Amino acid sequence: MRVLHAELLKLATLPATWIATALTLGIPPLLALLNGRMLNQALTTGDAGGMVTTDPVDEGFGQVTFGLVGIAVLGVTAISSEYARNSRTVGSGRQILTTVSACPHRWTLFTAKLAALTCWAAGLASLSVTLTLVASRWALGPWAQPWTGTDWSRAVNAAFYLLAMAWVAFGMTALVRNGVIPLALFITNASLVSFSMLAARATEWAKYLPDLAAYPSFLASHPMEHPLPASVGQAVLVVWAVGFVLAAAAVFQRRDA
Amino acid sequence: MGDHDVTLASAIAVEARKAASLPLMWGWTLTEVVVATLVARALASSPIAAGSPGVLTQVPAYVMVVTIVGAVWLVVSEYTTRQVSRSLISVPSRARLLAAKAVVVTGWAVGTGWIALGLAWAASNASRGADVPPAILLGGVYLALMGLIAAALSVVLRGMIVSLTTALLLLVVAPPLVDALTTYGPWLPTIAGQRLLDSVVPSAAQQPAALTLAIWVIATSIGAATRFMRSDA
């Protein structure tokens, strides 16, 4: 518990953690507001304008995917900050050396680090999904779909998607010990020029990528013609997350700091 | 060595040699070429973008990510390794050092962009039209401008995570969203650049896009110059 407390404190003192928090809580609700207002206007006037679809079923849930920008920053920062060099005034060392000196048991340290990330990311994901759906329903006004039991499970799945992607980002960063590649990959994948979407245009195998696999669990429409069933997609996402975390744990245990 | 002894040309030469000695810069160059080729193959198999130069106008949107990473890396590695202190001892004129860095970033981005887009075109099996060479040339220039904006932001922000996140948000994530949801899209650098890429034949309609792009490059460069000249290294 003391190691977890220390790791949570460390995470909370990183400026990038607060940038990640602001991005996760800011981007999806803002997009949901803008898109909801456009959709509301389109449905009221009957003029779709340049909108791709006027079906409000995915409104709010679709914007949750952009929360990946902040979640990726959080997952990457949680571990890459350990390997970044400090300023020369404090010896150009790396935080990881101090960390393993303070807590020599690597499994405990890794578990505490993962638990700290999980606590932060789970809270952030839940809050982001809630804010996004509330903003979306408020902007849609009378056009918002009635809230059903299915929507509860979609909301939980959307929050879990963000949490699992934080684990994937964390695991990938721990493997390469550098935040640049995972950060570029995940932020780009959260955009409209996503590499996953591009892969989906070229091969059916793209549906096994973590983001495309998870979409059917909370989105009614999917960019691929034959996506995985929702439950299988969730399982694939879990396999990706657990795979990366286990590989990262093994490497963290065996490699020199 | 006095300030007057270091000319801009020699500063550029030193910066170029420094960049070439960074193994990761070769890694980013290779990555850009590979990404361009793979993206072109993927786009060519899709009916939406098939044909020439259709593929070439879409490849830069993906390749730009690697250009941004490379440009940010070139600048921020100076600060993470504290190389900047030694650089300033060698070239005490801050304006000259920054100009040299900008020239190297631009040269790397445009050169790598041309090679990557050339290979992308070859990989797409598109027909060879008269509009292919201008599309490759324009694509390279577009990538260089995006790299320059990312580098300028990095000079201002100095940290790897914050610079990369800001540059990717501004140049990759936000523009298509802002363009789809508001009327302000054309004022963002990527959308303005994409408008220029859409037609290789210069027209009066492209002037506002060119002007917007120029304003972004100038504004971020002024920000970078101010920060570099006034802040401690």
Interval A143-159: pLDDT, tens: 888 888 899 999 999 99
How many structural domains is chain A composed of?
A: 1
Structure tokens at B148: 């320059």
Q: Residue A129 has what pLDDT?
A: 97
Q: Residue B4 has what pLDDT?
A: 53
Round to whole Å and give the CA distance between A133 and A29.
8
Q: Residue A97 has what pLDDT?
A: 84
Give A 238-257 residues with CB within 8 A of chain B.
Answer: none
List pLDDT tens digits, range A9-59.
999 999 899 999 999 999 999 999 999 998 988 888 887 776 667 778 888
List pLDDT tens digits, range A209-254.
999 999 999 998 877 788 899 999 999 999 999 999 999 999 998 8
How many A/B residue pairs have CB atoms within 8 Å?
A: 89
- Model confidence at A133, pLDDT cuts 50, 70, 90, reads very high
ipTM topping 0.90: no
Handedness of CA A210, A215, A217, A218 (dihedral sign): positive
Q: Residue A101 has what pLDDT?
A: 85
Q: Which of A37, A63, A87, A187 to mutate to test the interface with B (most CBs of B within 10 A)?
A: A187
Q: Which positions in chain B touch A40 (Cβ < 8 Å)?
A: none
| Diameter of chain A measured on Cα atoms | 65
Q: Which positions in chain A touch B173 (Cβ < 8 Å)?
A: 66, 69, 187-188, 190-191
Nearest-Å Rg of the Cα atoms of chain B is 18
Shortest CB distance from A187 goes to which of B41, B173, B182? Answer: B173
Q: Residue B1 has what pLDDT?
A: 47
| pLDDT of A195 over the 50 cut | yes
Of B164, B169, B155, B162, the C-alpha closest to B75 is B155
Handedness of CA B28, B33, B36, B39 (dihedral sign): negative
| pLDDT of A257 over the 80 cut | no
The whole domain housing A246 covers: 2-254
Q: Which positions in chain B touch A196 (Cβ < 8 Å)?
A: none
- Helices marked H in B4-82 — which ranges? 8-20, 23-44, 54-80
User: Are the CB atoms for A115 and A107 separated by under 8 Å?
Assistant: no
CA distance, residue B161 to nearest chain A CA (Å): 7
SS3 A85: strand
Low-confidence ranges of chain B (pLDDT < 70): 1-5, 46-53, 127, 200-202
Omega before B53 within 30 of 0, i.e. cis: yes
- Which amino acid type is present at position B203? S
B125/A contact by beta carbon, under 8 A: no
What HEC string does A191-249 produce?
CCCCHHHHHHHHCHHHHHCHHHHHHHHCCCCCCCCCCCCHHHHHHHHHHHHHHHHHHHH
- Which amino acid type is present at position A9? L
A167: left (phi over 0), alpha (psi -120 to 50) or beta: alpha
Interface touch A188/B168, C-beta < 8 Å:
yes
Interface touch B161/A183, C-beta < 8 Å:
yes
Q: Rounded to 10 degrees, what is the CA torsion of B30, B35, B37, B40?
A: -160
Round to whole Å and give the CA distance between A246 and A250.
6
A2/B contact by beta carbon, under 8 A: no
B65/A contact by beta carbon, under 8 A: yes
Interface touch A199/B162, C-beta < 8 Å:
no
A192/B contact by beta carbon, under 8 A: yes
* Bridge partners for A94 per DSSP: A85
Round to whole Å and give the CA distance between B222 and B225.
5
Mean pLDDT, residues A194-211:
89
